[in-house]
Amino acid sequence: MSVATQDTAIRTGRVTRTFIYVVLIVFALFYLMPLFVMLSNSLKPLPEITGGNMMALPENWTVTPWFQAWSSAQIGVEPTGLRPYFLNSVLMVVPAVAISTILGALNGYVLTKWSFRGDKILFGLMLFSCFIPFQIVLIPMAMILGKLGLAGSIPGLILVHIVYGIGFTTLYYRNYYAAFPTELVRAAMIDGAGFFRIFWRIMLPVSGPITVVSVIWQFTNIWNDFLFGASFGGQSQPMTVALNNLVQSSTGVKEYNVHFAGAILAALPTLLVYIVAGRYFVRGLMAGSVKG
């Protein structure tokens, strides 16, 4: 290959990369536009929104809408705000994520390293549960929660999300553990290690990548859930239901700045999780796909 040909190839490669970067930046700006509109308008006084351009930056910056959305201030007719419901979401999400992740790890361990008759059928049924729409389980779940005395409570919501999330966490861990050397497990059994000792000492220490995937997936789904929270929350409604109540409570002129601020506050935990651990989420997915 001549020098001229090499120079042409280098220039072509640079042009191609530049074009790809430009396209990616355009798409990124396009998808970030709603976030920009929400953030900029949440920092404006209401008259500046209703009588101005929603795409423009604030002329008079204010954080009052954020305090109104967060606190139980008088908005519309009834006192509303997201602060009392934030703790409900935390109390619901943390145990639900932890328990469903541990159960999924145990299920994946059993289904890959402790084969038994019908294990593939059991895994198929658990996999099928991942495709069941939320609406189908509302009435049966309401009946079960009523009989258990958990209706309208945080423990009831925790149970609902654990049951609905086990299928996903089992799928993740089962695929991840499928390529783990079974010989190590058998050697540990010969040395006298029991079921839980093998799980805690051998399987869990190598499960970091897929655990990150499971935790982020469950955290995002549970925190952003609205249907289960509205159906079974009662007086223990999560933050997403409170956001809907905040929007619906405004009468007359809609307080868009407060609504935008409330939407960002409700989405902030999941956004922070992806900013902090997003790269580990991708690594975990890649590790699970290669091992599976």
Q: Which amino acid is at 258?
A: V
In angstroms, rounded to a whole number, what is the distance separating the alpha carbons of residues 19 and 16?
5
Verify that 224 and 271 share a domain, yes or no: yes
E-strand stretches of the chain: none
pLDDT at 292: 41
Verify that 55 and 169 share a domain, yes or no: no
Total domain count for the chain? 2
Verify that 145 and 243 share a domain, yes or no: yes
In angstroms, rounded to a whole number, what is the distance separating the alpha carbons of residues 113 and 182?
7
pLDDT in tens, 267-277: 999 888 888 87
pTM: 0.83
Verify that 91 and 31 share a domain, yes or no: no
**198, 189 Cβ separation under 8 angstroms:** yes
Higher model confidence: residue 167 or residue 76?
167
- Is the predicted pLDDT of residue 253 greater than 90, yes or no? no
Asked whether residue 78 is assigned to any structural domain, the reply reads: no
pLDDT in tens, 97-130: 999 999 999 999 998 888 788 888 888 888 888 8
What does the block give as tokens for 35?
């976030």
Verify that 45 and 114 share a domain, yes or no: no
pLDDT at 93: 95
Asked whether residue 77 is assigned to any structural domain, the reply reads: no
Cβ-in-10-Å burial (0-12, 13-18, 19+) of 24 comes to: exposed
Verify that 240 and 118 share a domain, yes or no: yes
Q: Domain range for residue 18?
A: 3-70
Verify that 191 and 140 share a domain, yes or no: yes
In degrees, rounded to 5, the angle at the alpha carbon of residue 51 between the alpha carbons of residues 48 and 52 is: 65
Verify that 136 and 209 share a domain, yes or no: yes
pLDDT at 202: 86
Of 49, 70, 91, the one marking the end of a domain is 70
- Is the predicted pLDDT of residue 50 greater than 90, yes or no? no
Asked whether residue 56 is assigned to any structural domain, the reply reads: yes
Asked whether residue 227 is assigned to any structural domain, the reply reads: yes
What is the rounded average pLDDT of the residues 15-20?
A: 88
Verify that 60 and 158 share a domain, yes or no: no
Confidence of residue 90 (pLDDT cuts 50, 70, 90): very high
Asked whether residue 228 is assigned to any structural domain, the reply reads: yes
Share of the chain above pLDDT 90, in %: 30
Of 17, 44, 70, the one marking the end of a domain is 70
Verify that 243 and 140 share a domain, yes or no: yes
pLDDT in tens, 123-163: 888 888 888 888 888 898 999 999 998 888 999 999 999 99
What SS3 state is found at 265?
helix
Higher model confidence: residue 76 or residue 272?
272
What CATH number corresponds to the domain at position 199? 1.10.3720.10
Higher model confidence: residue 158 or residue 292?
158
Verify that 138 and 63 share a domain, yes or no: no
Q: Which residue has the tokens 């059993």?
A: 110
In angstroms, rounded to a whole number, what is the distance separating the alpha carbons of residues 117 and 98?
29
Asked whether residue 76 is assigned to any structural domain, the reply reads: no
Confidence of residue 47 (pLDDT cuts 50, 70, 90): confident
Asked whether residue 229 is assigned to any structural domain, the reply reads: yes
pLDDT at 76: 43
Confidence of residue 2 (pLDDT cuts 50, 70, 90): low
Asked whether residue 210 is assigned to any structural domain, the reply reads: yes
In degrees, rounded to 5, the angle at the alpha carbon of residue 57 between the alpha carbons of residues 54 and 60 is: 100
pLDDT at 118: 82
Verify that 168 and 90 share a domain, yes or no: yes
pLDDT at 21: 93
4-8, 94-98, 211-215 — which is least confidently predicted? 4-8
Mean pLDDT of the chain: 84
Confidence of residue 6 (pLDDT cuts 50, 70, 90): low
